[in-house]
Structure 1
Amino acid sequence: MTQQQTTARIDQIKEWILAKHKNRTDVGVDEDLVDSRLVDSLSFVEFVFLIQEVSGVEIDMDTLNISDIRTLAAIEKHFLAT
């Protein structure tokens, strides 16, 4: 996967977050999505499914390590890296 493809996929995830938080204009790559409540308990499962869809990687909810999806940088490293 090229850097451009990875960036486009991260942008899809970022757009999903920003669509749910109209008061925001950006999300930092190292911003904690859970602590900042950009992803809360109500949207968590939908968020994981989005990551699956964008990455093409099946995520097992039983073995998911929350730290792998806390930031856009972690998502890129664990699910979008080549």
Structure 2
Amino acid sequence: MDDPLKPVTDWLRARNPDVEAIPPDLDLIENRLVDSLGFMEFILLLEDLVGRELPLEELDVDRFRTLEAISANFLTPQRTGH
């Protein structure tokens, strides 16, 4: 089974070569794995992965804080009534 987070973790490791493991609950922003300069590039990566542009209301930083949050908010099919 393919890991939908693999492109995300590959991107994070490429930008942070000194990081070996990235726990699913590690705060990526607090630990500076995603910084303000790389945030827009990170958003573009996620847009490529989900196949759509992310609306501004989806750009709440808490939705990107951890690999768990990224998976739940962007890489897991959502069932909504919207």
1:12 is aligned to 2:4:
no
Mapping 1:1-82, distance limit 5 Å: 4-5=1-2, 7=3, 9-60=4-55, 62-63=56-57, 64-82=59-77
Runs of 4+ deviating beyond 2 Å: none
- Normalising by structure 2, we get a TM-score of 0.84
RMSD: 1.2
- What percent of counterpart residues are identical? 33
Rg comparison, structure with higher value: 2
Q: Which runs of 5+ in 1 are unaligned?
A: none
Is the contact made by 1:55 and 1:80 (CA closer than 8 Å) also made in structure 2? yes
* Paired residues, number: 76
- Normalising by structure 1, we get a TM-score of 0.84
CA distance, structure 2, for counterparts of residue 32 and residue 56 of structure 1: 25
Per-residue CA deviation, residues 29-75 of structure 1 (Å, 9 max, x unaligned), is 11111000000000000001101111224212x32211111111101
CA distance, structure 1, for counterparts of residue 30 and residue 74 of structure 2: 21
